[in-house]
Amino acid sequence: MVKRFYVDQYVDRILAGDRVVLSRAITLVESTLPADQDLAQEVINRLIPHTGNSVRVGITGSPGVGKSTFIESFGNYLIQEQSKKVAVLAIDPTSQRSGGSILGDKTRMATLATNPAAYIRPSPAGKSLGGVARNTREALLLCEAAGFNVIIIETVGVGQSETAVHSMVDFFLLLLLAGAGDALQGIKKGIMEMADGLAITKADGDNHQKAEQARAEYKHALHLFPPAPSGWLPPVALCSALENTGLAVIWQMVQEYLTLTQKSGFFTRKRQEQNLHWLHQAIRYALEDRFFSHKLIREKLPDLEKAVAESKTSPFKAATDLLKLF
Amino acid sequence: MVKRFYVDQYVDRILAGDRVVLSRAITLVESTLPADQDLAQEVINRLIPHTGNSVRVGITGSPGVGKSTFIESFGNYLIQEQSKKVAVLAIDPTSQRSGGSILGDKTRMATLATNPAAYIRPSPAGKSLGGVARNTREALLLCEAAGFNVIIIETVGVGQSETAVHSMVDFFLLLLLAGAGDALQGIKKGIMEMADGLAITKADGDNHQKAEQARAEYKHALHLFPPAPSGWLPPVALCSALENTGLAVIWQMVQEYLTLTQKSGFFTRKRQEQNLHWLHQAIRYALEDRFFSHKLIREKLPDLEKAVAESKTSPFKAATDLLKLF
């Protein structure tokens, strides 16, 4: 009875936009205690009918490209000029939850953090990308239920985090610096082709002409690459936090993408596929967790992995041997 | 005792380069009978020390780009000019094993098929890409043990087959047609960034200038994309089956890649990572097979998938519910 009462409390207060309870629910999602997990899942399942009403935007880019600065300006623009409520989440599998990193996320976006129409949640800590990504996706649903209608998910570009973000957003924006070579420092192969839009940051002052040239080059290059299943050709925008330019153009880009894909049905299909992807991912992670935490497997795995890596035994033979122990 | 005798037979004859026994061993790999599977795994595991001594080249491209023609010319070039022994395998999850498709693979590369230094194996049939890919990888090992020192793996570009090929080859070649737009028909996003080299086919006669122009454009575009972890920038070559040009340049490209990556250690690291990838893939497929063939799961899954796709229930809740049944 107590539990049901608590579920109702979470549900009612989140739907009323109570950000203290929203934060507590996200903490519940991130908890590794089984009781917390059960409670979190019940809360989310109750809130599911109230989710899905936001624009989900993923943002990535190399260190130094100005991601935080961009997100802060973009968030403020969306609130002030577009009357949006904006939540900012992050996938950073390297972050350790500490006083420092919580403050870190909020201080690096100070003007947005204090805006009553914005909600900034620091990156969840976690051992595995799978866990961190799952926590982020559940936080996204909770933010939608709390009435935020633009959810920005930032990735620091570690490991497979871009793929995880790509599988939970509607629009994926890649931030780039002008200047060949340097522009791509820290961007992994495959990311460019995931992007629905590119934006060249710091396109101001002396840098403006270089940024214009980079835009022309990227536009041309994107033409040479395979078309997206949506039929959308990723545009390349310029922006500057210093001169506060480009934000409207980028929002316009997102709007055009939504119009096109909602009309064609691609938007709905993509969201449905993302839902199924998360179901199958969750099953896969659970099965692998059970397998790799099994005592005998834990004992045998390191030697077999070594033998397989060095081509002393066949991967399939090793897998069969391990599965017999399970 | 009989089994051990048979294992020895397979092993000895394959090591002696007996292509009839090689074919029988590949058929064993493709068999779904548990006894055949056990035997196949023992044979492969015995042959593992004799594998790894080939250059593994993956080839993909849109329908109509001339893949078969290219592979036939390239195979003949490697045999005649480079004194290689060449095996050609394919990953085609859509193919059904039938008299037609076996003949199909051999007739479309007629001059190569009759070359005593070449071995062409038609695509294995299979229900899942996972199974087909696994069969192809084991066939690759068997061909290496039989003394083939260039293994060409062709993909028809269906589903995730390029990713599977990419995870089993040293060098991945993308064939393209000149002519913007058309050039990319049938190529999926992400493939371009997997390629270690590009070759523009049918660069002959009136087409030559257009091909040269396409080469310049792709070279420039590839510069704008993130560098590969190997430090290698994919070159763009021209070739023509009609005028029999470009094959030496493409083989030179592969050689340069091998020299660079073997010197840096990337080559060995990539092969080790590929081995581990196959171990983990095999475990994953086996676990998922057990799960999804479970009676209760099979009964419940369709309704839950529908509810998840339509956002009526949370993917994580659905996964938890299913795992409780397992």
Q: How far is residue A116 CA from its own chain's centroid?
A: 22
Residue B161 to chain A, least CA–CA distance (Å):
16
Torsion region of A244: left, alpha or beta (phi above 0 gives left; psi -120 to 50 gives alpha):
left
B300 interfacial to chain A (CB closer than 8 Å): no
Q: Which element (helix H / strand E) includes B248?
A: helix B247-264
Give contacts of B 269-298 with A, CB under 8 A. 271-273, 275-276, 278-279, 281-284, 286-288, 291
CB of B185 within 8 A of CB of B218? no
Q: What pLDDT is recorded for position B97?
A: 46
DSSP codes, A242-289? TTTBSHHHHHHHHHHHHHHHHHHTHHHHHHHHHHHHHHHHHHHHHHHH
Amino acid B71 reads I
Q: Are A300 and A306 in contact (CB under 8 A)?
A: no
Interchain contact, A311 vs B184, CB within 8 Å: no
pLDDT(A252) > 80: yes
The answer to whether A203 touches A238, Cβ cutoff 8 Å, is yes
Q: In which residue are the tokens 């930032």 written?
A: A154
Which tokens sit at B223? 């510069």
CB contact under 8 A, A305 and B271: no
CB neighbour list of residue A295: distance below 8 Å, 6 or more residues apart:
none
How far is Cα A106 from Cα A111, in angstroms, rounded to an integer? 9
- Chain B (157-216) residues lying within 8 Å, Cβ to Cβ, of chain A: 180, 183-184, 187-194
pLDDT for A226 equals 79
- Least CB-CB distance to B193: which of A42, A52, A190? A190
Taking only Cα atoms into account, the Rg of chain B, rounded to an integer number of angstroms, comes to 22
With 0-12 CB in 10 A as exposed, 13-18 as middle and 19+ as buried, what is A145?
A: buried
Residues of B in contact with A53 (CB under 8 A): none
- Assign a CATH topology to domain A1-49: 1.20.5
Tell me the shortest Cα–Cα distance from A126 to chain B, in angstroms. Answer: 17
User: What is the interface pTM, i.e. ipTM, of the complex?
Assistant: 0.85
For A319, the closest of B191, B282, B316 (CB atoms) is: B282
| pLDDT tens-place string over residues A53-101 | 999 999 998 878 889 999 999 999 999 999 999 999 988 766 554 433 4
Compute the Cα dihedral for A70, A72, A74, A77 and give only its sign. Answer: negative
Smallest Cα distance from A51 to chain B, Å: 8
Handedness of CA A273, A274, A277, A282 (dihedral sign): negative
Closest CA to A203 of A234, A173, A178: A178
Nearest-Cα residue of chain A relative to residue B134? A316
The CATH number assigned to the domain with range A51-262 reads: 3.40.50.300
Which residues, in sequence order, are CB contacts of B39 under 8 Å at separation 6+?
B3, B6, B7, B28
How many whole angstroms separate alpha carbon A171 and alpha carbon B199?
A: 32
E-strand stretches of A157-219: 171-177, 197-201
Q: List chain A residues with CB under 8 Å of B283.
A: 288, 291, 319, 322-323
- Are B276 and A309 inside 8 Å of each other by CB? yes
Residuewise pLDDT in 10s, chain B (326 residues): 345 568 999 999 999 999 999 999 999 998 888 899 899 999 999 999 999 999 999 999 887 888 999 999 999 999 999 999 999 998 876 655 443 344 455 667 888 988 999 999 987 766 677 788 889 999 999 999 999 999 999 987 666 788 889 999 999 999 998 865 555 666 777 788 889 999 999 999 989 999 999 899 888 888 887 778 888 999 999 999 888 899 999 999 999 999 999 999 999 999 999 999 999 999 999 999 999 999 999 999 999 999 999 999 999 999 999 999 98
Select from B49, B183, B279 the Cβ nearest to the Cβ of A318: B279
Torsion sign, CA atoms A231, A236, A240, A246: negative
Residues of B in contact with A323 (CB under 8 A): 283, 286-287
3-state DSSP call for residue B88?
strand
- Chain B residues with CB under 8 Å of A48 CB are 311-314
Q: Delimit the domains of chain A by residue range.
A: 1-49, 51-262, 278-325
CB distance B19 to B85 below 8 Å? no
> Residue type at A242?
L
**What are the chain B neighbours of A313 within 8 Å (beta carbons)?**
45, 48
What pLDDT score does A185 carry? 63
In angstroms, the separation between the Cα of residue A297 and the nearest Cα of chain B is 11
Mutation test of the interface with chain B: which of A39, A44, A283, choosing the one with the most B Cβ atoms within 10 A? A283
Mean pLDDT score, A269-283: 95
d(CA B163, CA B278) in angstroms, rounded, equals 12
The reported pTM is: 0.86
Q: What is the mean pLDDT of chain A?
A: 88
Query: Considering only CA atoms, which of A47, A139, A279 is closest in space to residue B321?
Result: A279
The whole-angstrom separation of Cα B311 and Cα A97 is 31
